[in-house]
């Protein structure tokens, strides 16, 4: 019997979506057949394709020759947060580059997704709509085909895509506020604006929810450091060590678009990775619930 151990990144996905992401070489029709025949279980209970997962479960799969064959040629680890006809939202862990770059030519998120698409024999090409720094985790949107990628890119460029981050900073920021300052981009000063609120505190640490109102490189890191609250793990801008972790405490939490109106057409939520949530737990700071819009 094969076992698939899930993580919090699988929470909210259906059983069929998760199986397709973990075993991309398996046709959906074959996975549906296994589910309908009651051959996939969780803690002894039979699963159906539309059951939503909570994360951290263990799925038990039958020991069959065909299943072993489709599991043999595995693609690199990949977590699909949402798939539509126009785009794929994919989780990027810290330490992984979005594109091929110096030091990241053999493994990056774009190449992982292309391998997954090739394995699935999907009839489209993908391209990332935006980027995340290597040290930042969170969702990255990939457009399906040139038209969808261009349309999503225009939404982002015109400020119609909301980007909300979580950061653990060292210092005592006010409960809410707006940072409108100049940041350095390739040596030149550029105006940047970020709205923030404090979600929890512990001694000299504060968990911030930040909404980007502009899209400058290292915007959050520079503005927080300039305000006297550098991010934990941010050696470049004077932040303290992140206990037991070699990464920034900076996570892209939610993407939503378009931002006009009360209800966005799409909202992508990526829970905090476990290596960050355990740090909050040790500080008695509660991890935030998803689908909450930052206050003005």
Q: Residue 250: is its pLDDT beyond 90?
A: yes
State the pLDDT confidence band at 296, using cuts at 50, 70 and 90: very low
Average pLDDT over residues 36-60: 88
Residue 106: predicted pLDDT: 67
| Structure-block tokens of residue 80 | 């699909």
Contact 7, 55 (CB under 8 A): yes
- Over the stretch 169-220, which tens digit does the pLDDT of each residue have? 999 999 999 999 999 998 899 999 999 999 999 999 999 999 999 989 999 9
What is the SS3 assignment for the chain? CEEEECCHHHCCCEHHHHHHHHCCCCCHHHHHHHHHCCCCEECCEECCCCCECCCCCEEEECCCHHHHHHHHCCCCCCCEEEECCCEEEEEECCCCCCCCCCCCCCCCHHHHHHHHHHHHCCCCCEEECCCCCCCCEEEEEEEEHHHHHHHHHHHHHCCCCEEEEEEEEECCCCCEEEEEEEEEECCEEEEEEEEEEEEEEECCEEEEEEEECCCCCCHHHHHHHHCCCCECCCHHHCCCCCCCCCCCCEEEEEEEECCCCCCCCEEEECCCCHHHHHHHHHCCCCCCCCCCCCCC
Beta bridge pairs of residue 135: none
State the pLDDT confidence band at 65, using cuts at 50, 70 and 90: confident
State the pLDDT confidence band at 293, using cuts at 50, 70 and 90: very low
Q: Residue 142: is its pLDDT beyond 90?
A: yes
Residue 294: predicted pLDDT: 43
Q: Which fold has domain 162-282?
A: Pseudouridine synthase (3.30.2350)
CA distance 245 to 118: 34
Of the ranges 106-120, 125-139, 188-202, which one carries the lowest mean pLDDT score? 106-120
Residue 105: predicted pLDDT: 64
| Structure-block tokens of residue 47 | 């699963």
| Structure-block tokens of residue 22 | 């973990």
Q: Residue 238: is its pLDDT beyond 90?
A: yes
Contact 189, 183 (CB under 8 A): yes
Q: pTM for the full model?
A: 0.75
Residue 290: predicted pLDDT: 66
Q: Residue 57: is its pLDDT beyond 50?
A: yes
Of the ranges 26-30, 86-90, 234-238, 257-261, which one carries the lowest mean pLDDT score? 257-261
Residue 239: predicted pLDDT: 97
Residue 121: predicted pLDDT: 77
Q: Residue 274: is its pLDDT beyond 70?
A: yes
Q: Which residues contact 152 (CB under 8 A, 6 or more apart)?
A: 86, 87, 129, 141, 143, 161, 257
Q: Which fold has domain 2-72?
A: 3.10.290
Contact 127, 87 (CB under 8 A): no
| Structure-block tokens of residue 266 | 């799409």
CA distance 192 to 202: 28
Residue 151: predicted pLDDT: 93
Domain range summary for the chain, segments of one domain joined by +: 2-72, 80-157, 162-282
The answer to whether the 2-72 and 80-157 domains have the same CATH topology is: no
Return the ∠ at Cα 247 (arms to 170 and 8), rounded to 5°. 100
Domain 80-157 has CATH 3.30.2350.10: yes
């Amino acid at each position: 019997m094969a076992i698939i151990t899930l993580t919090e990144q699988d929470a909210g996905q259906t059983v069929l979506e998760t199986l397709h992401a973990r075993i991309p070489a398996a046709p959906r029709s074959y996975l549906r057949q296994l589910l309908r025949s009651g051959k996939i279980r969780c803690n002894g209970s039979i699963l159906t394709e539309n059951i939503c997962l909570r994360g951290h479960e263990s799925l038990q799969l039958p020991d069959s020759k065909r299943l072993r064959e489709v599991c043999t040629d595995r693609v690199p680890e990949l977590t699909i947060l949402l798939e539509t006809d126009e785009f794929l939202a994919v989780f990027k862990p810290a330490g992984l580059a979005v594109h091929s770059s110096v030091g990241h030519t053999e493994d990056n998120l774009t190449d992982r997704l292309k391998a997954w698409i090739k394995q699935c024999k999907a009839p489209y090409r993908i391209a990332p709509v935006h980027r995340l720094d290597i040290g930042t985790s969170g969702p990255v949107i990939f457009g399906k085909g040139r038209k969808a990628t261009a349309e999503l890119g225009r939404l982002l460029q015109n400020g119609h895509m909301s980007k909300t981050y979580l950061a653990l900073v060292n210092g005592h920021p006010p409960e809410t506020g707006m940072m409108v300052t100049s940041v350095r981009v390739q040596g030149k000063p550029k105006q940047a604006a970020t709205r923030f609120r404090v979600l929890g505190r512990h001694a000299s640490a504060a968990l911030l929810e930040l909404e980007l109102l502009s899209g400058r490189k290292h915007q959050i890191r520079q503005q927080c450091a300039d305000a006297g609250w550098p991010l934990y793990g941010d050696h470049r801008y004077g932040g303290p060590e992140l206990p037991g972790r070699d990464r920034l405490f900076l996570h892209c939490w939610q993407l939503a678009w378009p931002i006009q109106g009360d209800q966005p057409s799409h909202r992508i939520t990526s829970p905090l990775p476990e290596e960050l949530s355990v740090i909050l737990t040790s500080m008695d700071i509660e991890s935030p619930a998803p689908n909450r819009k930052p206050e003005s």
